[in-house]
Structure 1
Amino acid sequence: MPFITLEGIDGCGKSTQARLVAAALKHAGHEVVSLREPGGVAISEKIRALLLDPENKVMCDTCELLLYEAARAQLVHEIVRPALAAGKVVVCDRFFDSTSAYQAFAGTVAREDADVANALAVGDCVPDLTLVFDIDPAAAASRREQRDDAPDRMEAKGLEYQQRVADGFRTISREHPERVRLVDATQPIDAVFACVLAELAGVGLAVSADDARSALSALMAPAE
Structure 2
Amino acid sequence: MDGYFITFEGGEGSGKSSILKSAKTKLADLGLDVLATREPGGIEIAEKIRDIILDPDHTAMDARTEALLLAAARRQHLTEKVLPALEDGKIVLCDRFVDSSLAYQGFARGLGIDEVFSVNQFAIQDLMPDMTLFFDIAPKKGLARIAANENRERNRLDFENIRFHEKVYEAYQVLVSKFPDRIQVINADQPFAQVESEAVSYIDAYLKNK
TM class by smaller structure:
over 0.9
Point out where structure 1 has 5 or more consecutive residues left out of the alignment. Answer: 207-224
**1:20 Cα offset (Å):** 1.4
TM-score, normalising length: structure 2: 0.94
Identity of aligned residues (%): 35
Residues 76-106 of structure 1: per-residue CA shift (max 9 Å, x gap): 0101111101101100000000000000110
CA distance in 2, matches of 1:124, 1:85: 16
TM-score, normalising length: structure 1: 0.88
CA distance in 2, matches of 1:152, 1:134: 21
Residues 165-204 of structure 1: per-residue CA shift (max 9 Å, x gap): 0110111011101100111000001111122123113321
**Of 160, 170, 173, which aligns to 1:170?**
173
**1:15 Cα offset (Å):** 0.4
**Of 6, 19, 41, which aligns to 1:17?**
19
Q: What's the secondary structure of 1:202's corresponding residue?
A: helix
Q: What is the identity, as a one-letter code, of the residue corresponding to 2:120?
A: N
CA distance in 1, matches of 2:49, 2:153: 19
Q: Which residue of 2 aligns with 1:220?
A: none
Point out where structure 2 has 5 or more consecutive residues left out of the alignment. Answer: none
Q: What's the secondary structure of 1:124's corresponding residue?
A: coil
**1:119 Cα offset (Å):** 1.3
CA distance in 2, matches of 1:26, 1:177: 27
- Is this contact kept in 2: 1:6–1:133, CA < 8 A? yes
Query: Does residue 1:127 correspond to 2:116, yes or no?
Result: no
- Is this contact kept in 2: 1:81–1:125, CA < 8 A? no
- Is this contact kept in 1: 2:134–2:184, CA < 8 A? yes
4+ runs of 1 displaced by more than 3 Å? none
**1:27 Cα offset (Å):** 1.0
Q: Which residue of 1 aligns with 2:163?
A: 160
